[in-house]
Amino acid sequence: MTKRKIIIDTDPGQDDAVAILLALASPEIDLLGITCVAGNVPLELTAKNARIVCELAGRPETRVFAGCDRPMARKLVTAEHVHGKTGLDGITLPDPVMPLQDQHAVDFLIETLRTEPEGTVTLCPIAPLTNIATAFERAPDIIPRIQEIVLMGGAYFEVGNITPTAEFNIYVDPEAAKIVFGAGVPLTVMPLDVTHKALTTRARVEAFREAGRVGPAVASWTDFFERFDKEKYGSEGAPLHDPCTVAYLLRPELFSGREINVEIETGSDLTLGMTVADWWRVTQRAPNATFIGDVDADGYFALLVERLAQL
Ligand code: BDR
Ligand code: CA
């Protein structure tokens, strides 16, 4: 089997953690590295949490890199109100002993994309896009070498979760998002419209709890962060956002969407970070993204449980 080579760019975050576990549990995927960025919590914690997750999975040889500690042009906004003080609240896991790589995440992205054969590396950003956009600015030659980007971010019908009109990952670094959405790389986007259909219902959380060695930790994470979303949305559970990206690589038939134009608002204080998604194709602007709108949620959670149980 030819494995799909991916790099996960992340700010763990409980849902990021599940995305990392899904990749590590999947034989179809070769996880070349995990690049960390400031987002849900500051960089020091995201780089620590990524290693906690690798050790939980029994994969301490995974290479974890620390990247940018703040957005390209703005002050960092974090989300401890959702993810807790550590970013990974829910269960206390041991501090990691595996090393953080010396190389900066942006240098790792550039070097990897230059050395791996053209068109063979997929990027899965599930955090503010600072590392990716910084790499594009520093080394534009890597852009055409990327196979595909599958990212979590943005919204259309669901509009926003950190402001009335913006989703967190795009809002935190809209300048970076503008660079990535404008780069011309094949781009698949998992917006809130799809992740809000992938809810951690009671039955799904209980299935996680039974899913092998890592199951209880995953259930404790979802138990923790769903309290915030359930109260906010009055829903049955919380959206499990980030693993949608990795699940899409494994089982694209679970998802459906359309190719549309998506522009990023960087000029307005009121709607900063809005993904202006031309879902109804009312402009002549050329499509630059496959914007996913629907998911077979039962299939998605079944895939997660099946794979997590392998770890
Ligand atoms: C995104 O923001 C973060 O809080 C989550 O980890 C996810 O990547 C959802 O808006
Ligand atoms: Ca995230």
Is 196 an annotated catalytic residue?
Answer: no
- Number of C-alpha atoms within 13 angstroms, CB side, residue 177? 29
pLDDT of residue 225: 86
The stretch 274-280 carries a mean pLDDT of 96
Quote the Cα angle for 226-230-232, to 5°.
120
> Minimum-distance ligand to the CA of 11?
2
Task: Check whether 294 has a pLDDT greater than 90.
Answer: yes
The stretch 113-126 carries a mean pLDDT of 98
CA nearest neighbour of 200 among 174, 219, 216: 219
Going by pLDDT thresholds of 50, 70 and 90, the confidence category of residue 114 is very high
Which amino acid residue places its CA nearest to atom 2 of ligand 1?
168
* For ligand 1, mutation pick of 20, 78, 168 (most atoms within 8 Å of CB): 168
pLDDT of residue 232: 81
Going by pLDDT thresholds of 50, 70 and 90, the confidence category of residue 234 is confident
Task: Check whether 25 has a pLDDT greater than 90.
Answer: yes
Cα–ligand 2 centroid distance for 97 (angstroms): 23
Cα–ligand 2 centroid distance for 67 (angstroms): 15
CATH code, domain carrying 188: 3.90.245.10
Share of the chain above pLDDT 90, in %: 94
Range(s) of the domain holding residue 148: 4-308
Cα–ligand 1 centroid distance for 39 (angstroms): 9
The stretch 210-231 carries a mean pLDDT of 91
pTM of the model: 0.98
Task: Check whether 135 has a pLDDT greater than 90.
Answer: yes
* For ligand 1, mutation pick of 152, 192, 222 (most atoms within 8 Å of CB): 152
> Exposure of 100 by Cβ count < 10 A (0-12 exposed, 13-18 middle, 19+ buried)?
middle
The per-residue DSSP string of the chain comes to -PPEEEEEEE---HHHHHHHHHHHT-TTEEEEEEEE-SSSS-HHHHHHHHHHHHHHTT-TTS-EEE--SS-SSS-----HHHH-SSSSTTS--PPP-SPPPSS-HHHHHHHHHHHSPTT-EEEEE-S-SHHHHHHHHH-GGGGGGEEEEEEE---STT--SSBTTB-HHHHH-HHHHHHHHTS---EEEE-HHHHTTSB--HHHHHHHHTSTTTHHHHHHHHHHHHHHHHHHH--SS-B--THHHHHHHH-GGGEEEEEE-EEE--S-STTTT-EEE-TT--S-PPP-EEEEEEE-HHHHHHHHHHHHTT-
In this structure, of 2-11, 114-123, 233-242, the range with the lowest mean pLDDT score is 233-242
Task: Check whether 123 has a pLDDT greater than 90.
Answer: yes
Domain count of the fold of the chain: 1
- Number of C-alpha atoms within 13 angstroms, CB side, residue 12? 28
Which atom of ligand 1 lies at the shortest distance from residue 152's CA? 8
101 Cβ contact partners less than 8 Å away, ≥ 6 residues apart: 33, 63, 64, 65, 66, 108
Chain mean pLDDT for the chain: 97
Cα–ligand 2 centroid distance for 50 (angstroms): 11
Task: Check whether 60 has a pLDDT greater than 90.
Answer: yes
Q: How far apart are CA 76 and CA 79, in angstroms?
A: 10
Q: How far apart are CA 31 and CA 62, in angstroms?
A: 8
Cα–ligand 2 centroid distance for 242 (angstroms): 6
* For ligand 1, mutation pick of 8, 22, 36, 242 (most atoms within 8 Å of CB): 242
Task: Check whether 69 has a pLDDT greater than 90.
Answer: yes
Task: Check whether 277 has a pLDDT greater than 90.
Answer: yes
Higher model confidence: residue 246 or residue 226? 246
Task: Check whether 183 has a pLDDT greater than 90.
Answer: yes
Residues with CB under 6 A from ligand 1: 13, 15-16, 40, 79, 82, 126-127, 152, 161, 167-169, 241-242
pLDDT of residue 30: 98
